[in-house]
A = this chain, B = another copy of it.
């Protein structure tokens, strides 16, 4: 029976360690422990990193972070961890990760610890496991949920913006001792992310070098992906109401009474203020105007100007110059009102969306 078990573990190990045996697996340090290092400047330890995002639990654009459930996979080979399969009676050993760390410490070997560079919250580990083959190759897998910083968010084209999301796994040890390479086949985005607001795509893994927590240049593997917004929400909650309100406002201007127009435009002014505040609740307090801000602010200013213009027309009329007022009015209604709004939108599209 034990033989069966050994065989089974053997095959399982093969399936876990599907990467070349010359590679090595890093073990995450579950409760904040770090252990000694295996590489040398002449011969850095090669560690494969796979980052597979299973779920996007939230995207908080105000706090500029996102939540994810991720499966991390780390592979490496350390001859010090090799063992004699015959003596032990099996070719593979499956460890819980702290036990592997203890075992490594006993034989004088070390595990290449990592840190998630843009982690913001605690990391809740759902499950983790590690397997060790007789040649010393290790596969460590871990499923966990955490919140990650997304500092690359840029809302200038909002709500037509494309945002970049990162998941950065950085080595604790400097580059001379541990070098990272991406495990492409174990990286990417899952099929059922459960995110409704964003269309997430264009996932890729990239290796780079950063200043690690040791204060020295360290290797990093990042999963980078991009997100676009579904526009339906913005069309039916913002653009369509605004279009209808402006069109109705324009139609009402044909009723020819300056007093009523002023009231209507005054109401629109307050509606613009309300839209302005409602939209700002979704974004951080930015240091620049988004596309939507720009459009709203220009329309707000233009509506204010329209009121002042109507007051002036009425003044003209009261002063007995009704003919001149009417001429000016026809010109403004037929041309300035619609063309002004169109010009605002056109310029915004040009300046924000077309110019890179």
Which residues of A (94-126) have their CB < 8 Å from a CB of B? 94-99, 108-110, 113-116, 118-126
B64:A196 contact, CB within 8 angstroms: yes
A247 touching B308 in the complex, CB below 8 Å, given contacts A97-B33, A98-B33, A287-B199? yes
A145 at the interface (CB under 8 A from B): yes
A174 at the interface (CB under 8 A from B): yes
A141:B214 contact, CB within 8 angstroms: yes
In the docked arrangement, what's the CA distance between A214 and B52, Å? 11
A9: chain B residues at CB < 8 Å are 36-37
A338 at the interface (CB under 8 A from B): no
A216 at the interface (CB under 8 A from B): yes
A127:B113 contact, CB within 8 angstroms: yes
User: Which of B8, B79, B308 interacts with A38 by CB under 8 Å?
Assistant: B8
A174: chain B residues at CB < 8 Å are 12, 15
Q: How many copies does the complex hold?
A: 5
Q: At the interface, is chain A mostly helix, strand, loop or mixed?
A: mixed
In the docked arrangement, what's the CA distance between A122 and B122, Å? 10
A163 at the interface (CB under 8 A from B): no
A130: chain B residues at CB < 8 Å are 34
A7: chain B residues at CB < 8 Å are 40
A335 at the interface (CB under 8 A from B): no
Which residues of A (244-287) have their CB < 8 Å from a CB of B? 244-245, 247-248, 251-252, 254-256, 262, 264, 266-267, 269-271, 273, 276-278, 280, 284-287
A143: chain B residues at CB < 8 Å are 115, 213
A300 at the interface (CB under 8 A from B): yes
CB distance from A142 to the nearest CB of B (A): 8
A172 touching B232 in the complex, CB below 8 Å, given contacts A57-B120, A58-B63, A245-B269? no
A252: chain B residues at CB < 8 Å are 262, 307, 311
A120:B55 contact, CB within 8 angstroms: yes
A289:B236 contact, CB within 8 angstroms: yes
B30:A30 contact, CB within 8 angstroms: no
A141 touching B213 in the complex, CB below 8 Å, given contacts A113-B129, A280-B233? yes
A330 at the interface (CB under 8 A from B): no
A172:B33 contact, CB within 8 angstroms: no
A151: chain B residues at CB < 8 Å are 55, 192-194
CB distance from A280 to the nearest CB of B (A): 6
For A302-338 the 0/1 string (1 means CB < 8 A from B) is: 0010011001001100100000000000000000000
Chain B interface: which of A65-73, A201-209, A219-227, A346-354?
A65-73
User: Can you list 25 A-B contacts with CB-CB less than 8 angstroms, sorted by A residue number?
Assistant: A2-B80, A5-B36, A5-B37, A8-B37, A9-B37, A11-B177, A12-B37, A15-B174, A29-B96, A33-B99, A55-B118, A55-B120, A55-B151, A65-B194, A69-B120, A119-B126, A150-B194, A151-B193, A186-B215, A196-B285, A197-B286, A230-B288, A241-B300, A251-B311, A255-B315
